[in-house]
Structure 1
Amino acid sequence: MISGSIVAIVTPMHADGSIDWEALSRLIDWHVEQGSDGIVAVGTTGESATLAMDEHKMFIKACVDQAAGRMTVIAGTGANSTSEAIELTEVAREVNADACLLVTPYYNKPTQEGLYQHFMAIADAVDIPQVLYNVPGRTACDMQNATTVRLAEHPNIVAIKDATGDVARGRELIEAVGDKLAVLSGDDATAMELMLAGGKGDISVTANVAPAAMKAMCDAAIAGDRAAAEAANAPLLMLHERLFVEANPIPVKWALAEMGMMENGIRLPMTPLSEGAQPQVREALRHAGLLK
């Protein structure tokens, strides 16, 4: 089962927007050392929307090769074209990714039946564990719990990243799918409560900068230890908020650059974190003990 603290890893870039492969290798090694259970490569935090198809494929393979079996690698292979999602998912299978993350089709706004058929087509086409991803705040497409329950019957569909931030709704989904599907949080601010309610982990933006602390929080919450989870989460609360002061991944990429982990490269239409927002993110990093 896919579980624990999973980093929605950024795509490190040079100032000119080209991928910084050396920084990627360093980041993956660091996350292994810090105890992260896995990474998502080329998810939305990884700027999948602005990577070319060949870059997308190369990035997944680079992550699999660098991780070398030391942590789970989930490849972001979702698209709003079913055939493109199948193509990317097949690439992930060929390079031995452990699983794929498939976002709900954005902009198209399919019906619930359309969503069901889209994900079933991918699951039927490619034999690899697949994680559904519902993030209506970014996609303008909300997959209802009833649709997820239907999809949970497919043996290749093993988990869902629930980024709705609605813990009550997540709790209902956990009860409805039982052991058929692992429910993972995709919203750091509410992740602890979802895991205490039975969620199996968190695909996290915050874990990019605070992997050890997120690992401690996730382990405690999954074990049902509220006191330990709250203690681990308390220094991270400001980060959960401030890393979204501008659109993700703008703040988290700036934060990693501020920590000396990589250059502050990003691709248009995303722009570097504004000067006015930088003190807010810096304060959150200091509050979490990540900067002096």
Structure 2
Amino acid sequence: MPAGVLFMFIIVFTTLVAVRMNSYVISALIIYVFFSIIGAVDDIAKVINQRKIAKGLISKQDYQYKADGISAGLRLFLYMTISLLVAMAAYKYIPNINGDINLPFISIVKRFPSLPFWLFIPFMTFTIAIFANGVNFTDGFDTLATVPSICCFVFVGIISFISSNSIWSNYLLIPHIVGLQEILPLIGAVIGTLLAYLWFNSPPSTIIMGDSGSVGLGGLIGILFIFTKAGFYLPLVGFIFFMEFASVAIQIGYFKLTGKRVFLMAPIHHHFQIMMRKSGLYKGEFQIKSKIAWRFHILSVVCLVLGLALFLKIR
């Protein structure tokens, strides 16, 4: 049973109880709730189609064709539209969402890079949409998307806490962002929910996240990285999600151009799964999936540490 809808109720309720509402929290919740609803539509459609298979109304082949519930094109359109509307509203109504960005190895004292409106809005829109897809693609094995998600939320939690303090942000030469500390209860609610979810999702899992969980979390990760002015660190800290999304994009694009495949199967964790299966070194699928999941988890923690070191300029 997909737990994503339960995620949404727990996270939203906990946030509303604990947080002092401001523009950052409202924007993040809008992205999270709407993206979770889009994912829930897919989850419901999958359950309906599974029941149709059991009744003999459709074949398994038809189910695989319709597995997403709504078409990939429509889903991407919804991601982009919601992200664009929130990006434009945030740019207009939140003073610190002004196109300023933080880049590795560049001190804000000497130079504070800034994207113009016509670049920043697409950047914010695509960041949110890409990582909604990235987390969704990663959620293929038990725990596979959960630990990288927790690492991303730990990163934005630490950065938002430091950035909201004028003394610490000035000492570490990072932007001081007034009011950003109000997203901390939201981040805490997400991390707590994911840790509880891991208790039951550890192999063999008794519950799964579903699209309602993965799509919502991915969109939330994207917008929180923008709020902390860490958008250019997302490919590093969220490397697993970026790699999964890129593998699907490359596979589809290359196949349409040449009729051939770059990977044995996309997303890339399935490529590794097939390679390890062919190697004959593992007794069964459980060992293969566990090995891939643990390696992805270790890589996520390493990327988190590297991201913090670069952003906070630890020498």
Instruction: Answer yes or no: same fold by TM over 0.5.
Output: no
* Larger RCO, structures 1/2 (Cα 8 Å, 6+ apart): 2
| TM band (smaller chain) | under 0.3
Greater fraction helix: 2
Give the TM-score, by structure 2 length: 0.25
Give the TM-score, by structure 1 length: 0.26
Greater fraction strand: 1
Q: Which has the larger radius of gyration?
A: 2
